[in-house]
Amino acid sequence: MSGGHFDYKHYHIGEIADAIELLIEDNLHKDEYGYCRDYSEKTLDTFVEAVKALRIAEVYAHRVDWLVSCDDNEEDFHYRLQLDLREVV
């Protein structure tokens, strides 16, 4: 299996981003107790920026992991990093 230097924790970063996306989606939905988060547009915009930053952090952590785990050489590291970042941004 590839990577492992950081114990695959980049996946946790992605899971946090996923959870924030769910908060955005469910912002106006009431829970079983009738509670609704109802965050402002400003807050939701900040959540969107947080998701973007986390996705970028996930890519960097993953690519560095592969480099220091000797799964990629430096040339591949830079190439794959740019490819992955293009998908996020």
Q: Confidence class of residue 2 from pLDDT cuts 50, 70 and 90?
A: confident
Q: Is 49 helix (H, G, I), strand (E, B) or coil?
A: helix
Question: Is 1 inside any structural domain?
Answer: no
Where is 56: in which H helix or E strand?
helix 41-68
Mean pLDDT of 7-21: 96
Question: Is 2 inside any structural domain?
Answer: no
Question: Is 48 inside any structural domain?
Answer: yes
Which amino acid would we find at residue 80? Answer: R
Within 8 A by CB and 6+ apart from 50, the residues are: 17, 20
Confirm if 14 and 54 have CB atoms less than 8 A apart.
yes
Q: How many CB atoms lie within 10 A of CB 30?
A: 11
* pLDDT value of residue 3: 79
Question: Is 3 inside any structural domain?
Answer: no
Question: Is 80 inside any structural domain?
Answer: yes
53 is in which domain, residue-wise? 10-88
Q: Is the pLDDT of residue 1 over 60?
A: no
What is the chain's mean pLDDT, rounded? 95
pTM of the prediction?
0.90
Residue 28 CB-half CA count within 13 A: 3
| Count of structural domains within the chain | 1
